[in-house]
A and B are shown apart, each in its own frame.
Chain A
C-alpha cells in the first residue's frame, strides 16, 4: 500500500505513471476497452463510441482552455471544419482516409491561426466572443462555398478502410476511435509535462508574469490554438464518420457549450478531468432516462405531452447539484477519495 509520494528526482515528478498499481489499472482499463465491443450490445456501444470521440475533442479544448486558460466558445467551429475537411477529401475527391485524417487535422489548425490572432490582444470573455463569432462565420462560409461543400445539402461519409483494414463494423470503428483517443491522451499528457506545457500553464496562471519569465506569449498562445484545433479537428472527422452524414446542422452551437461543461464538471486543467467529465456528461442523459423510466407510466399519464421535458430538467438539476457539492469537479472528488483512502483512519 502506498502511503505517500516521495519524489527525489525531477524525472520521477513528471513521470506519467509513477507506481506499479497505476500501471496495472491502466492496463486493465485498456483491456476492458478492447474487450468492450465484443461484450456490449450495439446500443451500449454507441455510448462508448461517443465517449471516445468526445474525449478526443474535450482533450483538444483542454489544451486551450484547461492548460492555457484561453476560453473558447466556438470550438464547434474546429469540429465542423475537421469533419468537412475529411468528408471533402475522402467522399468527394476519393482520397485515402489517412489523407482525410491529415486534412481534418491540418485545415482546422490553419484556421486556428486566424482565430487565434485576436488572442494576442484580447483576454477572457472578450476572446471567447471572437471564437464564438468564428464558429458562426465558419458555418456561413461552409454554406456559401457550395462548389466545395455541397452547401446545406451536406456530404455522406462512409466508414473508412485504412491500410486494408475495414472499419465498417461498429466494433472496428470503436477500435479506431479508441486508438485516436488513446494517442490524444498520451499526447496531451506529454505536452503537459514538457517545456511547452509548463509555458501554457504559466500563461494561464498569469500571462504578464509568464512574459517576464521569458515566455514568448504570441508564439505560445498561437501554438495552443493550433494544437487544440488540430486535435479537435480529428475528433470532428470521427464524429462526421459516426454520423455518416456531415452537415452544418449536425454540429449545433450547443456542442461548444457542452465541451466547456465537460471540462468544468470534470475539473478544469487536467486531462483526467476531461476524460471523467466526458463520461459523466455523455452518460448523464441515459442515467436520467433510466431513473425516469422507473416512473414513466405514472408520468406519461399525468403529463402526456410534457413528460420528456421533465427529463431534460432533471439533467440540468443534476449538473447544478453536482457543482454545488463538488465545485472542483470530478477530479476534485477523485483527489478527496484518494486522500481519504491513503490516510485512513487519520483525516490527513
Chain B
C-alpha cells in the first residue's frame, strides 16, 4: 500500500509538470490553431533564466518567481511579435515549421549562453523532504501539484467569466467572425503566447527545482505533447489533467511492470484512449462541412 501511494505521489508530481507544459501547448493551439514545437525549448529557457536570477541577483524565492514570470512573458511576447506575427495568414504547415526552426535556435542558445553542465536551482526552499508515514516527498513536488490545481481553477474561471477569455474562445471558434465582432486577433495571439510561455515556464522552473537544469530539458516538450493530445488539443484544462494521467500511468507501469515499460506505457494508453475518443478525453469534435 505504501509502495502504491509512493508511486502515485511521484507520478502526480512529475505529471503536474507535464500537465503545466501541456497546458502551454493547448493555450496556443486553442487561440491560434498552431502546434508550437518550440514549447519544450521555451520552457527550458525560462528555467535557465530563473537559475541565472537565483545565482546573480538573489536566491530569494519571491524574486526568482517574479523574475521568471516576467522573463517568460517577455519571451512569449517577443517570439509572437518577431517570429510568429509575420506568418499570420500563411499556410498552417509553414507556420508550424517556423516553430521548429525556432526550437533549433533556442536549443542552441542554451549551450551558447550557458553551458552543457547540469545545474541545480537553489531558492532556499522546495528541496526539503517531508515524510508522511514513510512516504517521502519534496516540498517542491507538493507545491507543483498545488500550483497546477489552482491554475486549472483560475483558467477555468478566466475562460468562463472574463471578457478576454470569452474573446479568446471566440477567436478559436471562428476567427473571421470574431474579427467582425471587433476582437483583435493579434492581441489575442500575443496574450496566448505570453500565457503559454508563463504556464509552461512555471512547469520548467518546478522541474529545475525538483530535478536539475540540463540542456536535455527540452525533451519535456516531447513528454508533454502526448499529454495535450490525451486531454484534447483544444482543451486547456483537459491537457493539465492529461499530464497528471500520464505521470501516474508511467509510474505505475514502471513500478509494477518494470522500468523498461515506463516510457512506453504513456504512449500505449494514448493509443487506447484515442481509439475510444478520437479527439482526446476533453477535446471537442470538429464538425466538418463538405
Contact = CB atoms under 8 A, between A and B. Distances in A.
Contacts of A140: 260, 263-264
A257 B225 CA distance: 14
A313 B108 contact: yes
Interface in A305-325: 305-306, 309-310, 312-313, 315-320, 323-324
B148 interface: no
Contacts of A264: 93-94, 96-97
Contacts of A303: 112
Given A133-B268, A323-B87, A309 B104 contact: no
B225 A316 contact: no
Interface in B111-161: 111-113, 115
A208 interface: yes
A316 B279 contact: no
A217 interface: no
Interface string A323-336: 11001110000000
B112 A310 contact: yes
A309 B111 contact: yes
Contact of A313 (B83, B95, B105): B105
A133 B93 contact: no
B280 interface: yes
Interface in A243-277: 253, 257, 260-261, 264-265, 268
Contact of A129 (B101, B111, B229): B229
B288 A133 contact: no
Nearest to B101: A319
A317 B105 CA distance: 7
B267 interface: yes
A133 B271 contact: yes
B101 A317 contact: yes
A126 B37 CA distance: 15
Contacts of B115: 305
Contacts of B288: 206, 208
B264 A324 contact: no
Nearest to B35: A125
A72 interface: no
Interface residues of A, number: 43
Contacts of B101: 316-320, 323
Interface residues of B, number: 46
Given A208-B290, A317-B105, A144 B268 contact: no
Contacts of B93: 264, 268
A298 to B, nearest CB: 16
B112 A313 contact: yes
Interface in A202-261: 206, 208-209, 212, 253, 257, 260-261
Nearest to B114: A306
Q: Majority SS of interface residues in chain B?
A: helix
Contacts of B109: 309, 313
B182 interface: no
Contacts of B95: 323, 327
B97 A133 contact: no
A303 B94 CA distance: 33
A122 B277 CA distance: 9
A126 B279 contact: yes
B22 to A, nearest CB: 12
A121 interface: yes
A312 B91 contact: no
Of A137, A313, A320, A327, the most chain B CB neighbours within 10 A belong to: A320
B152 to A, nearest CB: 22
B91 A316 contact: no
A324 B93 CA distance: 12
A123 interface: yes
B112 A118 contact: no
Nearest to B87: A324
A316 B111 CA distance: 15
A79 to B, nearest CB: 18
A327 B260 CA distance: 42
A315 B96 CA distance: 16
Contacts of B87: 323-324, 327
A323 B97 contact: yes
A132 interface: yes
B91 A328 contact: yes
Contacts of A208: 288, 290
A324 B91 contact: no
20 contacts: A125-B35, A126-B278, A129-B225, A129-B270, A136-B263, A136-B264, A140-B263, A209-B290, A261-B100, A268-B91, A309-B108, A316-B105, A317-B101, A319-B104, A320-B101, A323-B94, A323-B101, A327-B94, A328-B91, A329-B94
Interface of A: 118, 121-123, 125-126, 129-130, 132-133, 136-137, 140, 144, 206, 208-209, 212, 253, 257, 260-261, 264-265, 268, 303, 305-306, 309-310, 312-313, 315-320, 323-324, 327-329
Interface of B: 35, 37, 83, 86-87, 90-91, 93-98, 100-105, 107-109, 111-113, 115, 222, 225-226, 229, 233, 260, 263-264, 267-268, 270-271, 274-275, 278-280, 286, 288, 290
Given A118-B275, A122-B274, 8 more contacts: A121-B274, A123-B278, A253-B222, A257-B100, A319-B97, A319-B101, A324-B86, A327-B87
Which 3 residue pairs of A and B lie closest in terms of their CB atoms, listed nearest first? A316-B104, A133-B267, A319-B101
